[in-house]
């Protein structure tokens, strides 16, 4: 149980890193009063996405989860990077 709790804490760390920053930025872009403000906030959203992608690609725990010994194909890194890429294209 101690090891499980420790590992869940690590997983919580990943979830905190991929927290609400992107959602907050997209909300600000949606609420922008003019095109310039919206464009600036969407640039920030793209920066956040780039940060998220870099983090996902470099995070060893995500790679470890993808290569788990239980035969479960999570594809977590691939799914996250592809999703972030599609979102970046959509807001471009």
**80 neighbors 56 (Cβ within 8 angstroms):** yes
Determine the pLDDT at residue 83: 95
Tokens of 89: 């294209």
In angstroms, the CA 11 to CA 14 distance is 5
H-run or E-run covering 41: helix 35-58
Mean per-residue pLDDT pooled into runs of 10, the chain (92 residues): 80 88 96 97 96 94 86 90 94 88
């Amino acid at each position: 149980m101690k090891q499980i709790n420790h590992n869940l804490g690590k997983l919580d760390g990943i979830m905190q890193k991929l927290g609400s920053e992107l959602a907050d930025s997209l909300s600000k872009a949606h609420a922008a009063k003019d095109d310039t403000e919206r464009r600036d906030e969407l640039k920030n959203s793209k920066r956040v996405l780039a940060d998220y992608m870099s983090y996902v690609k470099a995070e060893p725990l995500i790679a470890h989860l993808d290569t788990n010994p239980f035969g479960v194909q999570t594809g977590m890194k691939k799914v996250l990077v592809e999703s972030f890429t599609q979102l970046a294209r959509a807001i471009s």
